């Protein structure tokens, strides 16, 4: 039998899509600033980038707090035991199984809505890369202070990290968008993230 589970509550969906928009905004303005392009005037790009960055930081903080309070955070924690095997299983699915129309090895459940590969990636993205990016961004926003706290040369480290993390997040975004088409059907994952619910197969072995 199937059961309809609300795995993506409204707050989470809202955050996700706002976040996606901010990513795009930061990406475009960031690239413009990075290359000193005139396509978007420097001052405008700087303004938009700063505001989007701040909103991203606020949104991230909201997400972390809400995740912890609602228990959503549990989905991000992989089962460390046998993790490598699980990830390989999932990778094998993407590399082989998906072409043979095999079933997803880790279908979403109320306890575990992400597959192991998602878990590891999201954990890294949301709890490592994003904080690093945000902290870097804030340091950039108050460079005078940063120079005092770190030192002149440290701005380089900050700039380098900001760039690299942003790059990785962009790569993640590409993968993320593509894999969103690799659900049960091409659009099923998008549905999940718009409507919030997932149909779960329940095994009747009670």
Grouping H, G, I as helix, E, B as strand and the rest as coil, residue 15 is helix
Contact call for residue 103 and other proteins (CB under 8 A): no
| 10 binds other proteins per the rule CB under 8 A | no
Q: What is the DSSP string of 137-192?
A: HHHHHSHHHHHHHS-TTHHHHHHHHHHHHHHHHHHHHHHHHHHTTSSSSTTHHHHH
181 binds other proteins (CB under 8 A): yes
Total residues binding other proteins (CB under 8 A): 43
> Does position 157 bind other proteins by CB under 8 A?
yes
- Applying CB under 8 A, the span of 6-14, 54-62, 143-151, 195-203 interacting with other proteins comes to 143-151
- Long-range contacts of residues 185-188, Cβ cutoff 8 Å, at least 24 apart: none
Please state the closest distance from residue 67 (CB atom) to other proteins, in A. 10
C-alpha to C-alpha distance for 67 and 61, rounded to whole angstroms: 10
Is 193 within 8 Å of 13 (Cβ atoms)? yes
Smaller CB separation from other proteins, 17 or 156: 156
DSSP character string of 135-151: HHHHHHHSHHHHHHHS-
Q: Is 149 in the site for other proteins (CB under 8 A)?
A: no
Interface pick for other proteins out of 10, 71, 174, 204 (rule CB under 8 A): 174
Q: Does 122 bind other proteins (CB under 8 A)?
A: no
Beta-carbon contacts of 205 under 8 Å, excluding residues fewer than 6 positions away, are none
**Choice between 172 and 197, CB closer to other proteins:** 172
> Which CB, 15 or 170, lies closer to other proteins?
170
27-56 footprint of other proteins as x/- string (CB under 8 A): ------xxxxxx--xxx--x----------
Q: By CB under 8 A, is residue 71 in contact with other proteins?
A: no
What is the rounded CA–CA span in Å between residue 167 and residue 159?
12
β-partners of residue 198 are 5
Residues forming contacts to other proteins in the complex (CB under 8 A) are: 33-38, 41-43, 46, 76-77, 94, 98-101, 123-124, 127-128, 131-132, 143-144, 147, 152-153, 155-157, 159-161, 163, 167, 170-171, 174-175, 178, 181-182
């Amino acid at each position: 039998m199937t059961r309809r589970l609300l795995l993506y509550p409204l707050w989470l969906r809202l955050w996700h899509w706002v976040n996606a928009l901010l990513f795009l905004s930061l990406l475009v303005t960031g690239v413009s600033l990075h290359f000193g392009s005139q396509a978007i005037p420097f001052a405008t790009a700087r303004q938009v980038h700063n505001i989007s960055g701040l909103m991203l930081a606020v949104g991230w903080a909201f997400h972390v707090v809400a995740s912890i309070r609602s228990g959503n955070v549990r989905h991000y924690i992989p089962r460390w035991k046998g993790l490598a095997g699980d990830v390989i299983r999932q990778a094998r699915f993407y590399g082989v199984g998906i072409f043979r129309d095999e079933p997803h090895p880790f279908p979403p459940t109320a306890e575990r809505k992400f597959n192991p590969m998602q878990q590891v990636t999201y954990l890294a993205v949301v709890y490592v890369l994003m904080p690093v990016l945000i902290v870097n961004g804030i340091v950039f926003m108050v460079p005078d202070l940063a120079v005092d706290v770190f030192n002149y040369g440290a701005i380089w480290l900050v700039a380098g990290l900001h760039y690299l993390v942003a790059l990785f997040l962009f790569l993640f975004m590409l993968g993320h968008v593509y894999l969103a088409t690799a659900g049960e059907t091409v659009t099923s994952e998008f549905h999940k993230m718009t409507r919030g619910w997932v149909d779960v197969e329940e095994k009747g072995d009670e």
